[in-house]
Structure 1
Amino acid sequence: MQPGLQPIDDDLVRRLIAGRFPQWAGMSVERLASGGTVNAMYRLGDDMAVRLPLVAGGAQDVVTEQEWLPRLADRLPVAIPEVLGAGEPAEGYPWPWSVHRWLVGEHPDAGVLGEPVLLATDLAGFVAAMRSITLPRAPRAYRGGPLAALDASTRAAIEELRRIPQEGVNCDAAVAVWEEALRTPETEGASAWLHADLMPGNLLVDGGRLTAVIDFGCMGVGDPACDLFPAWNLLPTDARRAFREALDVDDATWKRGRARTLSQALIALPYHRRTNPAMAHNARHVIREVLGEG
Structure 2
Amino acid sequence: MKAIVFAFVTILLFRIFFFEAFTIPSPSMERSLLTGDYIIVSKLSYGSRIPNTPLAFPFAQQVLPYTEHTNSYLDWIKIPYLRLFGSPDIEHNDVVVFNYPMEDEHPVQQRTFYIKRCEGLAGDTLEIKDGQVYINGNYNDDAEKLQFDYKIKTDVDSINNDSLRLLGITEGDHMQNKGEFWFTLNLENVETMKKFPHVTSVEPLIQKKGSYNDYMFPENEHFLWNVDFFGPIYIPRSGDSVKLTVDSLPLYERIIDIYEGNDLRVSNDSIFINEVYSISYTFKMNYYFMMGDNRHNSADSRFWGFVPEDHIVGKTVLVLMSIDKSDGGN
TM-score normalised per structure 2: 0.25
User: Structure 1 or 2: larger strand share?
Assistant: 2
Larger Rg: 2
Higher relative contact order (CA 8 A, sep 6+): 2
User: Structure 1 or 2: larger helix share?
Assistant: 1
